[in-house]
Amino acid sequence: MKTAFADLDNFLKTLKASGELKIISDPVSPYLDISRYTDTESKKPDGGQALYFQNVTGYRFPVATNIFGSPQRICLALGVSHLDELADRVREYIEFNPPGSLKEALNIIPMAITASKFIPRAFKGKQAPCQEVVHTGADVDLSRLPVLHCWPKDGGPFVTLPLVFTRSLETGRRNVGMYRLQIFDRNTTGMHWHIHKDGSHYYSEYVAANRRMPVSVAIGADPATTYAATAPLPRGIDEMLLAGFIRKKPVRMVKCLTNELEVPAEAEFVLEGYVDPGEMRLEGPFGDHTGYYSLADDYPVFHVTAVTHRKNPVYSATLVGPPPMEDCYLAKATERLFLPMLQTVFPEIVDYWFPWEGVFHNIVIIALDKGYACHAPRIMSGLWGQGQMSFCKAIVVVDKTVNPQDPAAVLAELVTKLDLETDVTLSKGVLDVLDHSSPNVNFGNKIGIDLTTRVGDEPPRQRHHEDLTVPAGAELLAIAREASPAVTGCRQMLGEKGVPRDGHRVLAVNIDKTGHGSGQDIASALLDSKALAAFTLILMFDAAIDLENPSLILWKLFNNTDPGRDLVIRAGRAAVDASIKSPEDGHNREWPEELTLDID
Ligand SMILES: Cc1cc2nc3c(=O)[nH]c(=O)nc-3n(C[C@H](O)[C@H](O)[C@H](O)COP(=O)(O)O)c2cc1C
C-alpha cells in the first residue's frame, strides 16, 4: 500500500489516473438515467469503469457510481494489489497472538486492528471538511441532494451508500452499518436496518428505554471507511477501527453539530438527526441486490436536524440489482478478509466461495480438510450459528483438494458424487430479510450438501440410477410434456458427453404452472415418468427463463428455492422447483417482482 486515500476526491483522482473512471458530461437525471448508465457499465467484463456524472439536471452536485465495482478498483480502494493481502495481515497477527478462547477467536479481527493502534482520532483542524457548509433546522432540504431513484417501481429516491453511525445506549459503543435511506420529504427518511443487524439491535435498546436515538449518516468517505460500514464485524466492535486497519492510518472523526455522535471529518455529506422509539413508516419497495424488489414494510423514521457538506462535494451512490453489480466486489473483499477469522474457529475450513448468483446469503461453497466422519455436517451447523454466516441458505462442502472457487470443479463433484439419500442435510434457521423463497419472513429451511470423500464409518455412496438411454432433442421435449403438460421447454445440462456414465444426468425444464397444480405436483409427475428415468436431477424454471444461460439459471435456483418445500427427493433422484411460488405451492406471502429498467 502506498498511502491511504484521504477522501473520496483523492480516490476518484487515482481512479481517473489509472483509466478506471469514465466522466459522463451528458445531462442525466437521478430518476433512472444514472441507473441505466450504471447497470450497463456493471455488466461489462470485470465491471467496466467507475462513473462520474458531471451534469445532473436540477442539482449542483456531481454523482459517482460503481467506484468499487471491479477487481482492480476494489483493490485500489483497499490499498492492496490482491484482496488476500488483507487476510494475510490478519493472519500475521494471529500467528503472533493465537486466540486463547472461542471468544478471542471470534474477535480476532477486532483484536488485530485494535492492537495495530489504528483507532480513530479526533479531528484537530479549525473546520472539518464535512462541515464547510451547514444547513440546520428549517434550512434542511434533502431534495437538494441528487439521490437516485434506482428502479422504476422503487417507493422513491434512496440513499444507497450511506454510513450509518449509532451508539449503544447500554455500552456507549459505536456501530457503523450501511443501511439504505428512503427520502420521504425534505427532512425525514426511512432507516432500513434489518432486524438481525447491529443498528437495529441498538435501536431496540432505545425503544426499551423509550429514549430518542441519535443517528448520523456520512455519504461519501474515503473508500476504506465506506467499505468498513459494510463489513460484518461482531457487535460492539467499531467499524472505524477496521477502516483504520485497512488504511493503515486512523480515521479522523469530528463531532456532529446537532447530536453527540462523531462522523469522519473528511466525508462529503453528513446527515445528522435522530430516530424516535416506536415511530415506524412504510418503506420500500426497493430494487435490491437480490435482483428483485424487496417488499415495502414498516421501518423506523430518521429525522434530519442538519445537513452538512464540503464546499464542492461529490455525491456517491451505488446501484444494486441483478448480479453482477458493484456490491459483488464489496462482498468479495469481505469474503477474503473474514476467512482468517473463520479459520480461527474452524481451522479445517481451507477456503470458501460465495458465488455472486447466490447474492451472498443464499449459498457458500466450503473446502474442508476433513478429519473424521460427519465432519461436513458439523461445519454446516457451526456456520449456521456464526454471525452473518447464519443467513446462508445453502452450504456445499467439498474436499480440500477441490478449489471451491472453481465452478466447473464444484459441479463435477456434484454430478459425480451426490447421493441424495445420504449427502443432504436439511435444517431450519434465520434467513436474510431479503430471502423471498421462504413462506416465512426472516427464517426458513436450509440445506447442506456434503460432497466430501467418505471416511470411517460413513457408508459408501449408493448409485441410485440406472444406466438408461438418455432421450434428446424433440423426443426429449415430447417425453417431458407427456410426463407433465406444464413443461414448455427443456434441455439436458452439464454436457451430455462430459458426464461419467455413473454421474447425474441433469434435465432443466421450463414450466408454466397455470392449471397444472403446485410445483411439488409437477416435480412428482416428472420424477414418476419412466421415460425420464435416466435423469436423476430435474430443475424446474419459469417458462421465460433461458435455459442456455448458466448464470441466470443458477441465480434463479439459489434465489427462488426453499429447500424444505421445493426439493422433492425420491429413490436417489430429485426435482427442484426454482420457479415463482404462489399460494398453490403453500407460499402465502407476496412474491417479489424481478427488476428491470424497462418502464411498461
Ligand atoms: C450497498 C449495500 C447496501 C446495503 N443495504 C443494507 C440495508 O439497507 N439494510 C441492512 O440491514 N443491510 C444492508 N447492507 C448490509 C449491511 O451493510 C451489512 O450486513 C453490515 O455488516 C451491517 O453492519 P452491522 O453488522 O454493523 O449491522 C447493505 C450492504 C451493501 C454493500
pTM score of the predicted model:
0.95
Task: Please confirm whether the linkage preceding 324 is cis (ω < 30° from 0).
Answer: yes
Q: Please indicate whether residue 196, judged by its CB atom, sits closer than 6 Å to ligand 1.
A: no
Q: Is 287 in the pocket of ligand 1 (CB under 6 A)?
A: no
Angstrom distance (rounded) from CA 18 to CA 253:
29
The strand ranges marked E within 379-455 are 394-399, 424-430, 443-450
| Ligand 1 contact via 429 beta carbon (within 6 Å) | no
- Distance (Å, rounded) from C-alpha 106 to C-alpha 104? 5
- End-to-end, the C-alpha distance of the chain in Å comes to 48
Distance of CA 76 from the midpoint of ligand 1 (Å):
22
Tell me if 190 CB under 6 Å of ligand 1. no
DSSP 441: T
The single residue listed with the C-alpha cell 436423476 is 536
**Are 553 and 561 spatial neighbours (Cβ–Cβ below 8 Å)?**
no
Interval between CA 178 and ligand 1 midpoint (Å): 4
pLDDT in tens, the chain (600 residues): 556 899 999 999 999 999 999 999 999 999 999 999 999 999 999 999 999 999 999 999 999 999 999 999 999 999 999 999 999 988 887 777 777 666 676 677 666 666 667 889 999 999 999 999 999 999 999 999 999 999 999 999 999 999 999 999 999 999 999 999 999 999 999 999 999 999 999 999 999 999 999 999 999 999 999 999 999 998 998 999 999 999 999 999 999 999 999 999 999 999 999 999 999 999 999 999 999 999 999 999 999 999 999 999 999 999 999 999 999 999 999 999 999 989 989 999 999 999 999 999 999 999 999 999 999 999 999 999 999 999 999 999 999 999 999 999 999 999 999 999 999 999 999 999 999 999 999 999 999 999 999 999 999 998 766 677 888 889 999 999 999 999 999 999 865 555 566 789 999 999 999 999 999 999 999 999 999 999 999 999 999 999 999 999 999 999 999 999 999 999 999 999 999 999 999 999 999 999 999 987
The DSSP output letter for 295 is: P
Cell 456531481 sits on residue: 62
Phi, psi of 378 (to 5 degrees): -65, -45
Ligand 1 center to residue 433 CA distance, Å? 11
**Closest atom, ligand 1, to C-alpha of 388:** 19
C-alpha to C-alpha distance for 401 and 47, rounded to whole angstroms = 30
Cell numbers at residue 579, please?
A: 420457479
Angle between helices 326-345 and 108-115 (to 10 degrees): 100
Q: In a mutational test of the pocket of ligand 1, which residue from 74, 150, 168, 178 has the highest number of ligand atoms less than 8 Å from its CB?
A: 178
| Ligand 1 atom at shortest distance from the alpha carbon of 239 | 26
DSSP state of 292: B
Nearest to 34 by CA among 154, 183, 151, 145: 151
Distance (Å, whole) CA 148 – CA 153: 13
Ligand 1 pocket, 178 CB below 6 A? Answer: yes
* Active site annotation includes 288: yes
